[in-house]
Amino acid sequence: MVACAVLLVVLLVSVVAAIGLGPATIAPGETARYLWAALTGGRVEADEVTVYQIVWQIRTPRVLLAALVGAGLATMGVAVQALVRNPLADPFILGVSSGASVGAVAVSVTGGLAALGIYAVSAGAFLGALAASVLVYAAAVGRGGALAPLRLVLTGVAMALGFQAVMSVIVYFAPDSEATATVLYWTMGSFGAATWGALPVVAAAVLLGVLVLHRSGRALDVLALGDESAASLGVSPDRHRRALLVLVALVTGVMVAVSGAIAFVGLVMPHVVRMVVGASHSRVLAVAPLAGAVFMVWADLVARTLVAPRELPLGVITALVGVPVFLTLMRRKSYVFGGS
C-alpha cells in the first residue's frame, strides 16, 4: 500500500529529526552517525561523548517510546470504536486511564510496591488499569454474558468519573504535594521518564495488539454492521467484544503505565486515516499505527521544545491539535463518521 510506504519513510525521517532537535540541536547527519555508532559499536571521540549520551541515552528511547505509544493509541482507537460501535470512543472511554491514575497516585502516596524501585509507579498504574477494566466488564456484562455496546460505554464513563473521585480523595489527604505532580503526569501524559528498559514491554504489547487486530479486520467490519447482521454472518458479537475488551485493556494499560493518559490520539487518528484509505478495517489498521506514530513523535517534540527548558504536558499539545481537527471532520459533509 502506497500510504504505508510513504508513512514509513516519513516516520523514519521524523524519528531522526526528533532525536536531533531540542535545547541542544544536533545536525541530522551527526544524529545518524551517533545512532549508527550505537547500533554497530562504532567509535565515538572523547569530546563527543556528552552529545552521544544525549542522543542515545536520553532522546532515542523517548522518541521511540513516543512512536510506539502513538501507534498503539491509534490502533486501539480503531478497536474501541469497533467494539462499542461509537465514532466518539477512544481507548480511555472504558475507564482504563482513570484506573491507571488511581493506581499510580496510590503507589506514590502510600509507597507501595517499593521493591520495584523506579518502576513502582508504572506497575501501580498498570495494575490500576487492569483492575478498572475488570470492574467495567463486571458492571457492564448483562444476562447470559451479553456485552451491549451502549451499556459498555455508559459503564465506562460512570466508572471513569468514580475513579477520578477516588483519585481526588487520595490527593486531598496526601501528606505532601508529590501526589499532585503525579496526578498531573498521569492525566496529561509525558515521555519524560522514558528509558530503554521500558521499550521492550511496550513494543511487545503494541505489536501484539496491531497483529491481532489486523488479522481480525473482517470480524471488525462485520461487527460494524450490528449484532444481528454479525450473527447472521457467523460472527459472535459478544465473544469478539470480550476478546477486544481484554486486548484493549492490556495494551492500553501498558501504554498508560509508561506515558500517562494522552487524549485525542485514539479518537482523531482513526477518522483521519479513514478519510484517506476508506472504512475497511484491514486498510485502516495497516495505516493507523504509522500515522499515530508520526503524529506522536512530532507532538512530543513540540511539547519538549516549545517552552524549553520547561516541558508542556503532552495532553495539551494533542488537545490543541485534536480539537480543531475533530471539529473540522464534523463539518465535512462528505465524511460519515465510521462509515465510508
Q: What CATH number corresponds to the domain at position 270?
A: 1.10.3470.10
Is there a domain that residue 338 lies in?
no
Is there a domain that residue 29 lies in?
yes
Is there a domain that residue 337 lies in?
no
- How confident is the model at residue 340, as a pLDDT? 46
Q: Per-residue pLDDT for the chain (340 aa), expressed as one digit of tens each?
A: 788 899 999 999 999 999 999 888 898 889 999 999 888 888 888 888 889 899 999 999 999 999 999 999 999 999 988 888 877 788 888 888 888 888 888 887 777 787 787 778 788 888 888 888 888 888 888 766 677 778 888 888 899 899 889 888 887 777 666 666 666 666 788 898 888 988 999 999 999 999 999 888 888 888 877 777 777 777 777 788 888 888 888 898 889 888 888 888 998 999 899 888 888 888 999 999 999 999 999 999 999 998 878 888 898 899 898 888 878 877 765 555 555 4
Q: What are 15's three cell numbers?
A: 524519528
Is there a domain that residue 248 lies in?
yes
Is there a domain that residue 117 lies in?
yes
Name the domain count of the chain. Answer: 1
- How confident is the model at residue 244, as a pLDDT? 87
- How confident is the model at residue 70, as a pLDDT? 95
Is there a domain that residue 340 lies in?
no
For residue 9, the enclosing domain spans: 2-331
Q: What is the pTM of this model?
A: 0.89
Is there a domain that residue 339 lies in?
no
Is there a domain that residue 206 lies in?
yes
- How confident is the model at residue 213, as a pLDDT? 92
Residues ≥6 apart with Cβ < 8 Å to 283: 1, 277
1/11 Cα distance (integer angstroms): 16
